[in-house]
Amino acid sequence: MEVVSPTPAKSVLPSHSSHCSRPSSFSSSSSSWISSPYNISNGSIGSSNSRHGGSRLRIISRICDRVPWKNQGGTCSSSSTSSGSSACNGNGGFGFVLGERVEEKRRREKAARVVICGAGAGGIGREEEAIRIPERAKVVALVSLVMCLCNADRVVMSVAVVPLAAKYGWSSSFLGIVQSSFLWGYLFSSVAGGALADRYGGKRVMAWGVALWSLATFLTPWAADHSTAMLLAVRALFGLAEGVALPSMNTLLSRWFPCHERASAVGLSMAGFHLGNVISFLATPVIMSSIGLAGAFSLFASLGFMWLSLWVNGVTNDPGDSPLISTYELQLIRAGKTDVSSSSGSKFPPLRHLLSKLPTWAIIFANVTNNWGYFVLLSWMPVYFKTVYNVNLKQAAWFSAVPWGMMAISGYIAGAASDSLIASGYPVTRVRKIMQSIGFIGPALALLCLKYAQTPNAAAFLMTVALSFSSFSQAGFLLNMQDIAPRYAGFLHGITNSVGTLAAIISTIGTGYFVQWLGSFQAFLTLTSALYFITTIFWNLFATGEQVFY
């Protein structure tokens, strides 16, 4: 029996010059992440499927005379050409694969299908289809896992800070300093992390980030025992390391996914991010009660190092560098988008040039508004419910889990809908504007309706609606960075994320002063709704899905 596999991933077609256009050489079904069975026709790869009986086998027609075959040990020979159509046809077809030398065949071991030819009447061969998970599906799965860990590690401290404060006698003011120390490093690392990801690849920068924040997570209980200064330094290191996560994610996914799949990839990755809240909120108290306070930090840090062992050997910066990717998948990724490979050695982009274009400012304002509203809901809604409805939501576990779980679901729905619209022929610009408009108008209306809520359950429902709609922004401004600046997506993400983090700090602090000044939460929520509406107008006027920076 002789086993042959198709052309290796390294022999690829030249990348197309158009950016984010729908690939014309692939059918609409080719956008599926699970590779479909391949046809053999004139040496090309298609997507048909047929079965015989219960097995996943397809009969290949007779092999033409000029294909050199071994005539021993049950293999076919070139004399078996009595009847039937030729699998090689007049253009040579797939026959060249069967005529390769042994060394060439070994080089093709990791391709997507296996062809087995056995002796039989008329020289009939059989083609066995190998079920294969696309490499880009593995990439997005690992990215989703690390984004889950990224947010889970943040929440561990949010839960553990209460017993830590009781143990060490921290005051409320110092408690706020400890909680904010994460943002000290996070605010400054996004830009540098994004620029490094653009230049050296998202894989390497993400790996260093995970290693450092897992180490900082592990050292947090020790640092608290040692001194307050050490604790603040470790938490700042933790924020510094986590600041590179989102820019690295953006850069890596922009290289691994074609335009018509990027929204789904980002949706899945951010679903992991939101689920990290759910997992950590629910699991951390159980872990601390079972194995102690330090046990929760040690467990999540260990998960980070375990993930790192999979990441180092399982992912490459660019799909073209992967030894496991098939030719079909690589062509699908590269078709219809500008090739931005990790080997391009792109220089750091000129900041003045990036800020000179209105589409950049549309993304910046969108990030500011998104973070403003998100952190208002995250930080102040428990206080809002306690003040207005006299409900202590800290004791309601479902309140911590349901909004973030709904964000994960709605974020993926937004991504899938966005990809479907683009695959159907809708312009990328229109799709980005639709998704971002939903992501802002939905929360704005929900916040305005809060003043009409008569019960805490109704108010909790409206808050969940606001957070769910806000996740549509992932298919709006978050993806738009890859559209307008594919070569500088990480750096642009870093800039906008830093400004957005600053807006989050201002909104979180400003809410308290605003409520104290006017004595009403609703006034600040109305102001936030107005900001949503204003930014929606600016976005629809100046945002674009076309490439602006080359």
pLDDT tens string 149-196: 998 898 888 778 778 888 888 776 677 677 778 877 888 888 888 888
Q: Which of 241-245, 347-351, 354-358, 457-461 has the lowest mean pLDDT?
A: 347-351
Q: Are 517 and 266 in contact (CB under 8 A)?
A: no
- pLDDT interval class at 300 (50, 70, 90): very high
SS3 annotation, 285-317: HHHHHHHCHHHHHHHHHHHHHHHHHHHHHHCCC
Nearest to 105 by CA among 1, 179, 230, 190: 1
The percent helix, strand, coil of the chain (3-state, each to 5) is: 70, 5, 30
Query: What is residue 413's predicted lDDT score, i.e. its pLDDT?
Result: 92
Amino acid 24 reads: S
Q: How many CA atoms lie within 13 A of 418 on its CB side?
A: 38
Query: What is residue 340's predicted lDDT score, i.e. its pLDDT?
Result: 47
Amino acid 15 reads: S
pLDDT tens string 504-518: 878 877 777 777 777
Nearest to 371 by CA among 438, 439, 417, 430: 439
- pLDDT interval class at 345 (50, 70, 90): very low
Amino acid 369 reads: T
CA dihedral 77, 83, 85, 89 (to 10 degrees): 50
pLDDT more than 70, % of the chain: 70
How many residues appear in the chain? 550
CA gap 30, 46 in Å, rounded: 9
Query: What is residue 354's predicted lDDT score, i.e. its pLDDT?
Result: 85
Query: What is residue 399's predicted lDDT score, i.e. its pLDDT?
Result: 64
CA gap 437, 536 in Å, rounded: 6
More confident residue, 62 or 358: 358
pTM of the complete model: 0.67
More confident residue, 311 or 57: 311
Query: What is residue 465's predicted lDDT score, i.e. its pLDDT?
Result: 92
More confident residue, 120 or 531: 531
- pLDDT interval class at 398 (50, 70, 90): low
Residue 202 has pLDDT above 50, yes or no: yes
Query: What is residue 533's predicted lDDT score, i.e. its pLDDT?
Result: 97
Nearest to 92 by CA among 57, 44, 158, 156: 44
Token reading at 384: 């809002």
More confident residue, 284 or 55: 284
Q: Strands 40-41, 125-128: parallel, antiparallel or unpaired by DSSP?
A: unpaired
Query: What is residue 181's predicted lDDT score, i.e. its pLDDT?
Result: 80
CA gap 482, 255 in Å, rounded: 9
Query: What is residue 383's predicted lDDT score, i.e. its pLDDT?
Result: 66
Residue 313 has pLDDT above 60, yes or no: yes
pLDDT tens string 46-58: 443 443 444 333 4
More confident residue, 63 or 21: 21
**Mean of pLDDT values over 310-321:** 88
Residue 34 has pLDDT above 90, yes or no: no
The b/e string for 15-30 (b: 16+ C-beta within 10 A; e otherwise) is bbeebbbbbeebeeeb
More confident residue, 511 or 468: 468
CA gap 190, 227 in Å, rounded: 28
Q: How far does the chain reach from its first CA to its final CA, in angstroms?
A: 51
Residue 12 has pLDDT above 70, yes or no: no
pLDDT more than 90, % of the chain: 23
Query: What is residue 77's predicted lDDT score, i.e. its pLDDT?
Result: 38
Q: Which residue has the tokens 């805490």?
A: 456
pLDDT tens string 236-279: 999 999 988 988 898 888 889 888 888 889 889 988 998 888 88
125-128 sheet: strands from edge to edge: 2-4, 114-117, 125-128, 57-60
